[in-house]
Structure 1
Amino acid sequence: MSDPMQVLITGATSGIGKQLALDYAAEGHHVVACGRNQQALSELEQRYPEHIAGQVLDMTNAQETVQALRAYSNVDVVILVAGLCEYLDVDNFSADLFARVFDVNVVGTMRCVEGLLPNLRAGSKLVIVGSTARLLPFTKAQAYGGSKAALHYITQSLQVDLAERGIKVLSVSPGFVETPMTQQNDFEMPMQVSVEFASNSIRRGIAKNKVDITFPRTFGWFLKFASRLPQSWQLALSRRFKQAS
């Protein structure tokens, strides 16, 4: 095994973030697991007391988030996983829903970057987890997909601006992953994968310094191809998806 790394993960109390924390710890790396649920963090610490340290973190609190993360130096890999999904009912349109989703997925993620960036150094990796939902105009996903599209653009822009500092910025775009969040969905989720599959895909991509980590491969390829079609074709395809759901 390579030398142990210091890995900081947000959203580490459930889903993909939790599995990443467990897998990195099992490999002997030192993990800072961040999340809002103190009990869940304590359970992670108990499973790997020598390798996992919990950090209570609420990304909607700007001052506390920046202050808490500013304390961590010598971090080799930062994986910003934490996110929120709410679906829009256009018959009861709510701008507040957009505010909630964007405050966590975009602004909250950038609060983490603000807190951590001053301590990142050449060779550090900043990994931002988005979603393949950014690729097509899916029904009811205006807030969620819009936030992930914004996050992907920001990630690409950071790739440009941080290259001269030697900081690698990697973008992750999962398809449907079996997590507590997706369990609330009431529609078909094609090619859904497990959190173990997601963690393996992300960790392999990080190890290879892939700037675009999209999985599962076939689903990601299909959506990327569809996103390059004329807009009228994309809309027609998305309407077909809506009718089938």
Structure 2
Amino acid sequence: MKVMITGATSGIGKELAIRYANQGHQVIACGRSEEKLQRLADSNSYIRTLCFELTDFHHYPQLEHDIDLLILNAGDCYYIQDPLNFNAEAFERTININLISIGYGLQAWLKNITQGGRLVLVSSSAAILPLPKAEAYGASKAGLTYLAKTLALTLKPHHISVSVVQPGFVDTPLTERNNFPMPMILTSQVAAQKIIQGISKGKAEINVPLSFVLIMKILRCLPHFIWRYLAVRMT
């Protein structure tokens, strides 16, 4: 199987690349750090790399062959610390990397997915509920989840399946910047293994960990004023 993964230089993307390569699959690992990509390629002969900036569509590489699994995983998180002095630059940066670049990837590589292949979009459980300071991150991931579920409908006649991944807290360089408690946090190794299991089972929605995402979905069913009260207390 030929697998392509964006955001493969750290966190979940790196672990996915390593695990798929260790299973003997051909992996194309994408990122913007040549040094990190080279170390990844040196670690396993089944991994080859593509180095480019995801927010610069004009320099996107075109693929010369088909792929069976496309995992659009790259993302970033910038919090809005002061809503009265809304940071539009941070908002734009977050939307660009988490959502707009996904559109770039779809235009560049969706046509390369084989019939019977699968597209995987890595969203977030933050898309389920409005969370303090997550105006930019949550909005981008909510849009990504909607995109995935819509593509699941429109790509079905083309025999391409779609999965959306909704991770909770995962120990990555991204979450290391958080200065608040992160319940049920997983290692990137455990998260990657659960994602691979979900993909192999053909799941349309992969929740990691399932218990955390279920709690988020239950909270979403509360009357809005109750969640608003709880969320404000979180700040």
Q: Report the equivalent of 1:182.
A: 175
- 1:10, 1:81 within 8 Å by CA — same for their partners in 2? yes
- 1:73, 1:120 within 8 Å by CA — same for their partners in 2? no
What is the DSSP-based 3-state SS (H/G/I as helix, E as strand, rest coil) of the residue aligned with 1:121?
Answer: strand
- 2:72, 2:122 within 8 Å by CA — same for their partners in 1? yes
CA distance in 2: counterparts of 1:212 and 1:111, whole angstroms? 22
- 1:153 aligned to 2:141? no
User: Letter of the aligned partner of 2:197 in structure 1?
Assistant: R
Cα distance per residue 1:182-222 (max 9 Å; x no partner) = 00111110110000111011100000010000111111100
Q: Give the aligned length.
A: 234
- 2:70, 2:113 within 8 Å by CA — same for their partners in 1? no
Q: Report the equivalent of 1:220.
A: 213
Cα deviation, residue 236, structure 1: 1.8
CA distance in 2: counterparts of 1:166 and 1:7, whole angstroms? 17
What is the DSSP-based 3-state SS (H/G/I as helix, E as strand, rest coil) of the residue aligned with 1:150?
Answer: helix
Match of 1:79 among 59, 71, 86: 71
Q: Report the equivalent of 1:135.
A: 128
What is the DSSP-based 3-state SS (H/G/I as helix, E as strand, rest coil) of the residue aligned with 1:144?
Answer: helix
Cα deviation, residue 72, structure 1: 4.4
- 1:170 aligned to 2:166? no
- 2:166, 2:207 within 8 Å by CA — same for their partners in 1? yes
- 1:24 aligned to 2:16? no
CA RMSD of superposed structures (Å): 1.0
Match of 1:14 among 7, 10, 17: 10
CA distance in 2: counterparts of 1:238 and 1:60, whole angstroms? 32
Q: Report the equivalent of 2:58.
A: 63
Worse overlay, 98-107 or 221-230: 221-230
Cα deviation, residue 241, structure 1: 2.5
Unaligned regions of 5+ residues in structure 2, if any? Answer: none
- 1:196 aligned to 2:205? no
Cα distance per residue 1:79-98 (max 9 Å; x no partner) = 11100100002143111211
**Identity of matched residues, %:** 39
Unaligned regions of 5+ residues in structure 1, if any? Answer: none
CA distance in 2: counterparts of 1:125 and 1:135, whole angstroms? 23
CA distance in 2: counterparts of 1:34 and 1:124, whole angstroms? 19
Q: TM-score, normalised by structure 2?
A: 0.97
- 1:16, 1:199 within 8 Å by CA — same for their partners in 2? yes
CA distance in 2: counterparts of 1:82 and 1:94, whole angstroms? 22
Q: TM-score, normalised by structure 1?
A: 0.93
Following TM superposition, the consecutive aligned residue runs of length 4 or more in structure 1 with deviations greater than 4 angstroms are: none
User: Letter of the aligned partner of 1:20 in structure 2?
Assistant: L
Cα deviation, residue 63, structure 1: 1.4
What is the DSSP-based 3-state SS (H/G/I as helix, E as strand, rest coil) of the residue aligned with 1:122?
Answer: strand
Match of 1:235 among 218, 228, 231: 228
